[in-house]
Amino acid sequence: MTGLFDLTGTVAVVTGSSRGIGLGIARALLSQGANVLVNGYDADETANAVKSLASAAAGVAGADEADEADEADEADGRVVGLAGDVTDAGVAERLVSEAVRVFGRIDHLVCNPGIDIIKPAVDYTPDEWDRVLTVNLRGAFQPAQAAARHWIAYKQAGSVTMTSSIAGSIGIPTLAPYAASKGGINQLVRTLAAEWAPHGIRVNAIAPGYVANIMDNAITHDEQRIVAFTPLGRRATIDEIAAPYVFLAAPAASYVTGAVIAVDGGYTAT
């Protein structure tokens, strides 16, 4: 079989993609031929991510000087940015409308907003709890809702992939609101997959384990414990986490929906 992972001509919107895992996901989707709309909270960071992805997609680093401008222009046509807070329903709707305006369609949505506040559960304030749940859970639902409304209205199929975490299924101290948000993502994925399947919309999640350099404060968890509880004995690279998102967007995953796929080096298997 050929073309199982070919995304040429498709369009992906990736929220939370101005850095970290999200930027890696956008890069991976571009590498398989997708056009990508990048979204981050900060406008400057989002613009820099677009420039970085355009350069990578064009292969500028190895280009002859005469070809460099043409290749960069071609890559610019495959990646655009739209900064904004996805907890705002208007921003979520604009992500979909902008993808359609620029590329003519939307095929894939990656819901990857994420913040964390690491502290003992007895010390969280109500505002800290609300902030984490709002960004991580509502910030994932609203773009998914906007994309589904578009696909249903135009009778088009689509795929949604959300970012969960090992903390959504096992207990890890000092992560109470983050864990609650990711457990919510898992159940949201299952519910939306069942509800939207008749419309040809697949909904899945990737649940990363510990990743190198992905989030403020993440490195504070004890490295010896991480190595001891991860059968592969190390943190993942961003590229190792990003690759399964390509699978879930690709024709290879056409019969996969409602799945929460652990990409954690075996952490939750032990």
For the annotated catalytic residues, the residue numbers are: 178
Closest CA to 239 of 55, 28, 13, 51: 28
What phi and psi values does residue 32 have, to the nearest 5 degrees?
-100, 10
Question: Residue 80, SS3?
Answer: strand
* Pair of tokens at residue 257: 């929906």
- C-alpha 226/C-alpha 73 separation (Å) is 43
- C-alpha 143/C-alpha 94 separation (Å) is 9
Angle at 242 between CA 45 and CA 109, to 5 degrees: 70
Asked whether the beta carbons of 264 and 166 are under 8 A apart, the reply is yes
